[in-house]
Structure 1
Amino acid sequence: MAERNAPAAADIDFPASGRRVFAVEAQALAAVADRLDAAFAQACRLMLETRGRVVCIGMGKSGHIARKVAATLASTGTPAFFVHPGEAAHGDLGMITDADVVLALSYSGESDEILTLMPVLRRQGNVVIAMTGRAASTMAREADVHLDVSVPAEACPLHLAPTSSTTASLAMGDALAVALLEARGFTADDFARSHPAGALGRRLLLHIADVMHTGADLPVVGPDASVSEALVEMSQKRLGLTAVADAEGRLLGVFTDGDLRRTLDDAQLDLRATPIAQVMTRAPRTIGADVLAVEAAHVMEQHKINGLLVVANDGRVVGALNIHDLLRARVV
């Protein structure tokens, strides 16, 4: 439907409208932050000490925020999930146990769907934390803890669309999650374990041992092998290098594509007669199998190389990898 008396798009200062929204919502966040007090601390303690999970509920826009808060809590060490209050009244209430803490979001504090659940939650013995914009609301009065997320104004010029209020509720949820994260001593490794498919998870969980070539796929020749034999090994294993090791498998050096180019520049060398030990690079860069794969990427970038040999504590060559292995593993 066409808007009546709407100004022409060319006459609207869109960036100015956007900046006004940021300014209004920044003021709203500052106002809510100033009200973080004993109630916030009590909510954190209840969520930290629960034997169950944090169940987030909310209707409409508050429901969207509640769903995101539940996801943030769950990914930062606080078991949590979202339950739609309307569905809860028709059977999904069975998902909530008496050990769970309920975090209920409603800016008005008068959501009928949530208020319908309050007596049932009370009889079941659930702790209820209400996040509303009205301290005198029914939800605020009936909850064990009330978190006040009231804002001076919505960013919507009509003061109708939830804007500043939903931002404040989302920030309050983040504040709870981060406070609990810090109280639990939650680490980056813990975060990665709950995000194994994400980029951070791969960077923090994937080790050299997970991506390196071993056994029959490991390019390695003895020091007496000819340059020609080393080239055959490199060609078959397709890593752009070969390790040079003694009879016990201890690393003596490496021969790479770069070494090959330098060798070919010497017209006096007979590739079939020259032993690889004569042209290999001694004391090459190596890495351990238990190191994070991302560290291999750092080493390669720092030293401008495309491959690394993996060496055990006793000096034996146990694996090899190149930049393409890291790319396939999506570490870089």
Structure 2
Amino acid sequence: MTLTAPELDELVAADAAQHRVLTGDRPTGPLHLGHYFGTLANRVRLQRAGVDVFVLVADYQVLTDRDVAERLEERVFGLVADYLAAGIDPATATIFTHTAVPALNQLLLPFLSLVSVSELGRNPTVKDEIQHSRQDAVSGLMFTYPVHQAADILFCKADLVPVGRDQAPHLEITRTVARRFNERYGPVFPLPETLLSEAPLLLGTDGQKMSKSRGNAISLTTPPDEVARLVKRAKTDADRHIAYAPETRPEVSNLVLLAALAQGRRPEDVAAEIGDGGAAQLKRVVTESVNEFLRPIRARRAEFAGDPAQLKAVLAAGNARANEIADATLAEVKAAMGMDYMR
């Protein structure tokens, strides 16, 4: 099930404390604006509303499309700095890593028995990742990525998962795993709901999906002159009049949307304001809007990145809590499956 923003607000307003969110990212490079407007803003909003938020640094999943996990330590702590700069509060949120929580990863084994090879092969997100993989051959980790993500979500019994639209099929696998486990072994897991942001898929500067690996993203750390360069080379079209029409003018509309999100306004209003100013005026507005939006985030991130001891302490505290919960969930799973005979 997918929740709209009003439905989510109503659900959280009724009793925020009874809900738990799980979300996260692979430490493969700096987070970008697609991440921020796609999921990060939702994480911060839910945390501030009183929801229990778990944020995963998915370090094992770096290997889904890479032979080795390069510069992993640097990127893990860089990702934590991104989270803190974006507004995630470690005093209430749980920020943790895959590699520090063995019981979470052990859930992958029973979960794999609940889905078929054909079901995994039909997953559109996996197909897209395979197409853009850096590997010569598809690894088993890449193929089973949605089930590993199900373990991420279900180990803490998260019931709300903020994602971009391209990640929504993974949530269907998670719901399938939870439902089949409950039917086969008894009620253990909730069926998590999908939370789509108001900007579910922000395109990159080349008109394709914004991605760290495709070199078309504006990261949270991109300096002002680099933002200007990336926006300047972004695709538009030949029509001088600027309008927000995602279906017929996707590249122009994506730039309008980017400016509108950075300004906190409706894209239709931003487009109307630019009017016949053409692509040059549109790109000036986008550059100024994005740089103004990123200015405080850049400053906060530089401060956090300059204190590695604080970043390690954040992860240590998060890993401790995640382990406590994962151990309890794995024990419950073993009991339900009749595999706790060595207790």
TM range (shorter): under 0.3
Q: TM-score, normalised by structure 1?
A: 0.23
TM-score by length of 2: 0.23
- Decide which structure has the larger Cα Rg and report it: 1
The structure that is helix-richer by fraction is: 2
Higher relative contact order (CA 8 A, sep 6+): 2
